[in-house]
Amino acid sequence: MNFEPLRIAIVGGGSVGEHFLRDFGSVPAYEIVGIITRSTARQRELAEKYCVPAFGTLGEVPNKA
């Protein structure tokens, strides 16, 4: 059975956000389309670590998720 993965954006770069990046990123049913955080340094760190795009605002995401 073929299915489209659920596309999600992670909002927040704290421990829970990183948990979501790690766990949802390893499940084929999900596709992480990006991360949004208040801290640009943390955002860049997580985006690079988990190979996901970083967005400046939530408004940039809807066309991708």
DSSP SS3 for 3: coil
Range scoring the smallest mean pLDDT among 6-10, 20-24, 55-59: 55-59
According to the model, what pLDDT value does residue 59 have?
87
- Asked whether residue 27 is assigned to any structural domain, the reply reads yes
For position 50, which CATH number holds?
3.40.50.720
Q: What are phi and psi of 62, to 5 degrees?
A: -50, -35
The total of structural domains in the chain comes to: 1
- Asked whether residue 63 is assigned to any structural domain, the reply reads no
> Does residue 57 carry a pLDDT above 80?
yes
**Domain ranges, residue 35:** 6-58
State the sign of the Cα–Cα–Cα–Cα dihedral 45, 46, 51, 55.
negative
Q: What is the pTM of this model?
A: 0.83
- Asked whether residue 64 is assigned to any structural domain, the reply reads no
- Asked whether residue 14 is assigned to any structural domain, the reply reads yes
Residues 19-55: pLDDT tens digits?
999 999 999 999 999 999 999 999 999 999 999 999 9
Q: For the residues 6-10, what does the mean pLDDT come to?
A: 93
